[in-house]
Amino acid sequence: MSIVFSFIHKQFALVCGDTNLTTKDGNRSNIEKVLMSSSNIIFGFTGDVSSNIDFFHPFIRENLTINETIINNYSFNQIVDILNEKYQDYIKKIDQISNFDICSMVVGFNGEKFCCVRYQISQKEIEFKKIESGNNIEIVGSGKEEHLSTFTKLYKQQHSDDLIGKLISIFQQTIDIGSSIDKSINNKMTYKLIYLED
């Protein structure tokens, strides 16, 4: 499983991910798992690539790029509504789609606050999670719990006035540590940031 974390705060939304892709035949390469539209909507995904393309269609193309022509016709709230409907459809037919596997998120500004919606759909687990920003940082993870534990431990140990820089640095440290014990991730990071101007 890959690793993607979103950090939601009243001033910003930050999504970080590793870039490892392991194909069905065991080969490894790099892939962008965090994508951002020109309208400041971020998609972060883990799990099976074709399942994510199917779930996020028509907003993400088959070549894993944002379909700007389509996405610019929708607000963040409308995209979430569409994905929520798709989520309900998928969980109704999960027994018929045995290879479907995602734990992915969409992040954006809902008109009042930053928001992250995470969808987990597989034979093993089905979960919906929605988090909105507040005064504290909210973390939404997709990946193994041990990576979130590593991140939390490192976060408590380090101090910095640059909060966004600290989060990015600690995520990099987390995947540096994690990639040495978990072959499903690598230590190459990508991130996207939406910042709310005062």
What is the rounded distance in angstroms from the CA atom of residue 177 to the CA atom of residue 25? 25
pLDDT of residue 1: 58
CB of 108 closer than 8 Å to CB of 115: yes
Low-confidence winner among 4-8, 21-25, 89-93 (lowest mean pLDDT): 21-25
pLDDT level of residue 84 (50, 70, 90 thresholds): very high
DSSP string, 59-85: TB-TTS-B-HHHHTTS-HHHHHHHHHH
Provide the percentage of residues in the chain whose pLDDT is more than 70: 98
The reported pLDDT for the residue numbered 30 is: 87
pLDDT in tens, 102-145: 999 999 999 999 999 999 999 889 999 999 998 999 999 988 88
What pTM value is reported for the model? 0.94
Report the pLDDT value the prediction gives residue 194, as an integer from 0 to 100.
Answer: 97
Residue 41: name the closest of 22, 67, 63, 21 by CA. Answer: 67
pLDDT (0 to 100) of residue 144: 82
Q: Is the pLDDT reported for residue 67 higher than 70?
A: yes
Strand partners, 35: 43
28 confidence band (pLDDT: 50, 70, 90): confident
pLDDT at 146: 87
